[in-house]
């Protein structure tokens, strides 16, 4: 099974993913950004705004997820923003074709809270790149609301969000 945590930067995907792995035995985080980093040196001549724009990234994410699940089983937790609907459709279709159960969540926070989180993130404070993608996130919200379970994280602690996701997916322990 895959639990995909979507949403914009600052919504709590990475922190929630860590909390989920603590709650769900046999789960592990699959950081699909590493697939993008792997492709950067190979596709450097193909100029894109985001590594997700490279079609091989989307196919490799699906293939790698399937290989990982075939190898170790359990649950993969993917904390990855996907803001282009076509890209999400490709990933979802690939996972469906492989019969991989998929739970899609969008972690949302109100605009002021997102700004606060992005500006104060200790790992990347005031990240201009993250701030520039807030409009992309706003544009994606219409399809996110149709194709995912949206969780407002504005006033929730990451453990609360993780517990809610575990309950929604039927994976809550105890």
Decide if 34 contacts 23 (C-beta within 8 A).
no
Q: What is the DSSP letter of 156?
A: -
- C-alpha dihedral, 85 to 168 to 2 to 36, nearest 10°: 50
Q: Examine the pLDDT at 101 and tell me if it is beyond 90.
A: yes
Domain assignment present for residue 156? The answer is yes
Q: Phi and psi of 109, rounded to 5°?
A: -140, 155
Domain assignment present for residue 174? The answer is no
Residue 102's CATH number? 3.40.50.300
The residue with greater pLDDT, 89 or 130, is 89
Q: Which residues span the domain enclosing 128?
A: 2-168
Instruction: Determine the average pLDDT of the residues in 103-123.
Output: 91
> What's the rounded Cα separation, in Å, for the pair 147 and 89?
10
Q: What's the number of domains the chain is made of?
A: 1
Parallel/antiparallel/unpaired status of strands 27-29 and 102-108: unpaired
Q: What pLDDT is stored for residue 128 in this prediction? A: 83
Q: Give the residue from 169, 23, 147, 166 showing the smallest Cα distance to 91.
A: 147
Q: Which tokens go with 138?
A: 């706003």
Domain assignment present for residue 13? The answer is yes
Neighbour tally for 20: CB within 10 Å? 25
From the CA atom positions of the chain, what is the Rg in Å?
Answer: 16
Domain assignment present for residue 173? The answer is no
pTM to 2 decimal places: 0.93
Task: Kindly state the percentage of the chain with pLDDT values over 70.
Answer: 99
Q: What pLDDT is stored for residue 48 in this prediction? A: 84
Which of 108-112, 126-130, 133-137, 154-158 is least confident? Answer: 126-130
């Amino acid at each position: 099974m895959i639990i995909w945590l979507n949403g914009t930067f600052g919504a709590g995907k990475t922190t929630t993913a860590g909390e989920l792995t603590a709650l769900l035995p046999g789960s592990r985080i699959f950081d699909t950004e590493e697939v993008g980093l792997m492709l950067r040196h190979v596709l450097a001549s193909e100029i894109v705004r985001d590594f997700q724009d490279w079609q091989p990234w989307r196919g490799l994410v699906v293939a790698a997820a399937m290989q990982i699940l075939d190898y170790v089983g359990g649950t993969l937790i993917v904390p990855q923003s996907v803001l282009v609907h076509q890209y999400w459709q490709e990933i979802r279709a690939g996972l469906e074709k492989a019969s991989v159960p998929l739970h899609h969540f969008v972690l949302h926070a109100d605009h002021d809270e997102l700004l606060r989180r992005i500006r104060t993130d200790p790992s990347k404070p005031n990240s201009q790149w993250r701030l520039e993608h807030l409009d992309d996130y706003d544009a994606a919200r219409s399809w996110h609301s149709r194709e995912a379970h949206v969780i407002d994280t504005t006033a929730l602690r990451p453990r609360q969000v993780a517990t809610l996701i575990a309950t929604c997916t039927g994976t809550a322990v105890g």
